């Protein structure tokens, strides 16, 4: 059996279309499947749409979270509920083509791979500035983190039970799945596809959301920023020592008084900037540690079926 996990935030318009398409695909595939829709604190009629579908079709289950916990938490809630031999996570907006599922399932069911991942090879239809920063993000991640984060990898993934069980052993609150999946290891087969624009509704990610998400990712999967802060400190220390020696020698040899306070102010500003930056970096890691230490659940369920 295949468990299909779909996080939904304000997707009342997309869910019926998605469900229809999936049924068509499943009929061709001739496989047993269960749907697990996760309503991530939607403000529209998503929940009633889900209730309606679940009423008619006993293969459809839904989980309604107590508020919006974010896509990562919603996917986790669905994965915890999955009973199938295989599980697939996908978006409700048809940006993850159901037509890829048969090939993905074949790859994983053959036993050769544990997981089938997908990546977008184009970003057609996406605002230029977003694509630009997305590319920069992958470049920075490559530089900073020890794990390999695949450019354009989507959350559209099909996995077997062993992979799913391994995934569920990770207890962290700061779940950055783009990093968690490669961290897990296992054998992954990649499928590529062109970007598809969403069928209905609109994206939940603003530019700023994405920017914060990328900072989270860096903090979650790399401690290099901490090292960079230390190296900056050491470099500045060396520069200041050399300058002191230079000024003292100049004073002794030529009796040249040091003039100009503008330069002094610049240096003070520069150094306090670097200090604040380093304290900020440290703070980011502390904040993440704080959320982990509190051990709050990743999500809370209000209603499920
Ligand atoms: N989503 C969610 N919780 C959130 C944000 C998004 O469950 O806080 C769901 C959303 O309903 C959709 C999927 O995650 O099914 C991907 O979201 P979206 O299409 O907005 O992202 P994009 O495809 O633009 O990256
Ligand atoms: Mg989408």
Count of CB atoms situated within 10 Å of the CB of 7 = 28
Would you state the pLDDT for residue 67? 94
Q: Closest Cα to atom 21, ligand 1: which residue?
A: 203
- Strands 86-89 and 2-8, bridge-based pairing: parallel
Q: Which ligand lies nearest the alpha carbon of 50?
A: 1
Can you read off the two tokens belonging to residue 18?
């998605």
Strand order in the sheet with 86-89: 188-193, 115-120, 153-160, 86-89, 2-8, 33-39, 60-65, 301-304
pLDDT for 258 = 63
Name residue 8's beta-bridge partners: 39
| Centroid of ligand 2 to alpha carbon of 57 (angstroms) | 25
Query: Which ligand has the shortest distance to the CA of 127?
Result: 1
DSSP-derived secondary structure letter, 191: E
186/100 Cα distance (integer angstroms): 21
Closest ligand to Cα 91: 1
State the DSSP H helix or E strand holding residue 265, giving kind and residue range, or none if neither. Answer: helix 262-294
> How many residues are recorded in the chain?
305
Distance between CA atoms of 217 and 209, rounded to whole angstroms?
12
Pair of tokens at residue 183: 């961290």
What DSSP string runs through 77-104?
Answer: HHHHH--SSEEEE--TTS-S-GGGHHHH
Supply the angle between the helices 262-294 and 207-221 in degrees, to the nearest 10.
80
Per-position pLDDT tens, the chain of length 305: 899 999 999 998 899 999 999 998 888 888 889 999 999 999 999 999 999 999 998 999 999 999 999 899 999 999 999 999 999 999 998 888 888 999 999 999 998 999 999 988 877 777 788 788 888 888 888 888 878 888 888 899 999 999 999 999 998 988 888 889 989 989 999 998 888 777 777 777 788 888 888 888 888 888 888 888 888 888 888 888 888 888 888 888 888 666 677 778 878 888 888 888 888 889 989 998 998 999 899 999 999 88
Ligand 1 neighbourhood includes 204 CB (under 6 angstroms): yes
Q: Over the stretch 96-137, which tens digit does the pLDDT of each residue have?
A: 888 899 999 999 999 899 999 998 887 777 778 878 888 888
Q: Any idea which residue has 């002094």 for tokens? A: 264
How far away, in angstroms, is 91 Cα from ligand 1 center? 7
Contact 11, 42 (CB under 8 A): yes
Q: Backbone dihedral region of 150: left (phi > 0), alpha (psi from -120 to 50 degrees) or beta?
A: beta
Tell me the best of 7, 154, 196, 197 to mutate to test the pocket of ligand 1, counting ligand atoms within 8 Å of each CB and taking the most.
7
Ordered alpha helix ranges (H), 145-223: 161-169, 177-184, 207-221
Determine the pLDDT at residue 257. 64
In this prediction, residue 247 carries a pLDDT of 82
Does ligand 1 come within 6 angstroms of the Cβ of 11? yes
Distance 62 CA to ligand 2 centre (A): 20
Residues with CB under 5 A from ligand 2 (ion): 91, 93, 95, 198
Residue 279 CA, ligand 1 centroid: distance in Å: 33
| Ligand 2 center from residue 276 Cα (angstroms) | 37
pLDDT at res. 5: 95
Distances (CA, A) of 34 to 22, 150, 172, 291: 11, 29, 27, 33
pLDDT of residue 133: 82
Q: In the prediction, which pLDDT does 189 show?
A: 92
- Looking up tokens 């697939």 gives 88
The rounded Å distance from CA 93 to ligand 2 centre is: 5
Other Cβ atoms closer than 10 A to 111? 9
């Amino acid at each position: 059996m295949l468990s299909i996990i779909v996080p939904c935030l304000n997707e009342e318009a997309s869910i019926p279309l998605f469900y229809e398409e999936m049924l068509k695909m499943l009929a061709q595939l001739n496989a047993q499947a269960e749907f697990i829709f996760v309503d991530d604190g939607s403000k529209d009629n998503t929940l009633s749409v889900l209730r309606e579908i679940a009423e008619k079709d006993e293969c459809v289950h839904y989980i309604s979270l107590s508020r919006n916990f974010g896509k990562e938490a919603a996917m986790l809630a669905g994965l915890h509920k999955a009973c199938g031999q295989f599980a697939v996570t996908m978006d409700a907006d048809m940006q993850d083509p159901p037509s890829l599922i048969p090939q993905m399932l074949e790859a994983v069911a053959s036993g050769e791979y544990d997981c089938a991942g997908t990546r977008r090879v184009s970003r057609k239809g996406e605002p230029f500035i977003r694509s630009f920063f997305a590319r920069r993000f992958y470049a920075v991640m490559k530089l900073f983190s020890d794990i390999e984060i695949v450019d354009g990898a989507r959350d559209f993934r099909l996995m077997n039970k062993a992979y799913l069980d391994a995934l569920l052993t990770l207890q962290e609150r700061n779940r950055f799945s783009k990093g968690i999946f490669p961290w897990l290891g296992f054998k992954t087969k990649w499928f590529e596809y062109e970007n598809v624009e969403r069928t209905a509704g609109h994206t939940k990610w603003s530019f700023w959301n994405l920017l914060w998400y990328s900072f989270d990712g860096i903090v979650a999967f790399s401690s290099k920023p901490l090292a960079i802060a230390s190296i900056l400190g050491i470099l500045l220390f060396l520069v200041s020592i050399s300058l002191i020696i230079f000024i003292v020698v100049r004073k002794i040899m030529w009796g040249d008084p040091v003039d100009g306070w503008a330069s002094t102010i610049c240096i003070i500003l520069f150094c306090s900037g670097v200090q604040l930056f380093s304290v900020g970096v440290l703070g980011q890691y502390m904040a993440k540690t704080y959320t982990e230490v509190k051990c709050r659940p990743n999500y809370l369920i209000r209603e499920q079926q």
